[in-house]
Amino acid sequence: MAASAIPFLQRPEVKTYGLSILLILVGLLLLGALAWPTWGKIQELREDINGEEERIVLLKEKVEDLLNFSDQQTLLDEKFVIFERAITLESKIPDLLTKIQDLSEGCNLSVKTLQYSGEGGADGVTGRVRPIRVRYSAEGSFSNLTCLTASLESSSRIVDVESFQYRSSRTEAGALRLSPELILLGYYTAPPILNPDNPLTFSFTSPVYLQAETILGTLK
């Protein structure tokens, strides 16, 4: 009863060990407060490590696919010839004018204007496949003009007609003469931006590839 009458803080054991225990508790709280942010960083580091391990696995798979393609280099070169004719490389843009000139001569059209007119199309210069405009004007008969439109449609080089208008007149002999003015769109591939994280999605058995190969194979 006498011991219970002594106030708690005045007890000998509290005076002897109380301060030490209090300091230990305060120290533990401080250590916990300091360690908590570090624990969060450790968790983030673990997530980063797991992410990098997954990335390494994907890169190894991509390397295996690339090695497989390298073993088929000859086949790739043969297969992509028709695609390169349809949408050429940036370095071969001048070939577009040559192609249009050849088609015009084959249809007996007299070319009056044939020149580049800048980038074109809805995608502008942002896409992987970029359009380029060509201003074109010529003179010839109705059958000559019909021949040109048919030749553009079946050409192995993809050329779209963005706008079309014409003027008509008569020759001294009374024959109908047409003067078409067209804005044509050709296409080329911009240099690729290489990124090792981009997945390889190409396949010779892809329905999209097979359909494109079939269509382009019918062009000339």
SS3 content of the chain, % helix, strand, coil (to 5): 55, 20, 25
Does residue 167 form part of some domain? yes
Residue 8 has pLDDT above 50, yes or no: yes
What number is the average pLDDT over the span 171-183? 87
- Per the prediction, the chain carries an average pLDDT of 78
At 124, list the tokens.
């502008």
The mean pLDDT of 3-25, rounded to a whole number, is 62
Over range 142-153, report the average pLDDT: 92
Q: Which residue has the tokens 């043969």?
A: 78
To the nearest whole percent, how much of the chain has pLDDT over 70?
Answer: 76
CATH of the domain at 112: 3.30.70.60
Tokens representing residue 42 in the block = 């450790």
Residue 64 sits in the same domain as residue 105: no
Same domain (yes/no): 142, 61:
no
DSSP helix/strand/coil, 88: strand
Determine the structural domain holding residue 123 and report its residue range.
Answer: 86-192+205-217
What pTM was estimated for this model as a whole? Answer: 0.59
Assigned domain for 130 exists: yes
Mean pLDDT value of segment 56-64? 77
First-to-last CA distance in the chain? 113
Assess whether pLDDT exceeds 80 at residue 200: no
Q: What is the pLDDT of residue 172?
A: 79
Q: Which secondary structure element, helix H or strand E, spans residue 171, and what is its range?
A: none
Q: From the DSSP assignment, how many helices (H) and strands (E) are in the chain? A: 7, 5
Q: In the predicted model, what is the mean pLDDT of residues 64-82?
A: 72
- Residue 66 and residue 151 share a domain: no
Nearest to 216 by CA among 82, 95, 99: 82
Residue 35 clears pLDDT 70, i.e. is over it: no
Last residue of a domain, one of 19, 44, 71: 71
Higher-pLDDT residue of 39, 90: 90
Q: Which residue has the tokens 């007890």?
A: 11
Amino acid at 94: P
144, amino acid identity: N
More confident residue, 142 or 61: 142
Number of domains within the chain: 2
For residues 152-162, average pLDDT: 88
How many other CB atoms are there within 10 angstroms of residue 88's CB atom? Answer: 20
Residue predicted with more confidence, 81 or 110: 110
List residues bridging with 184 in a β-sheet: 161
Cα separation values, 19 from 3, 12, 28, 39, Å: 20, 12, 14, 29
Task: Supply 119's token pair.
Answer: 């980038």
Query: Going by C-beta distance under 8 Å and a sequence separation of 6 or more, which residues neighbour residue 154?
Result: 218, 219, 220
pLDDT of residue 123: 46
> Please, are residues 162 and 181 in contact by the beta-carbon 8 Å criterion?
no
Q: How far apart are CA 89 and CA 191, in angstroms?
A: 8
Please give the single-letter amino acid code of residue 190: A
139 shares its domain with 165: yes
For 131, other C-beta atoms within 10 Å of its C-beta total 22
At 86 the pLDDT is: 82
Q: How far is CA 1 from the centre of its chain?
A: 87
- Which range among 2-11, 88-97, 150-159 has the greatest average pLDDT? 150-159
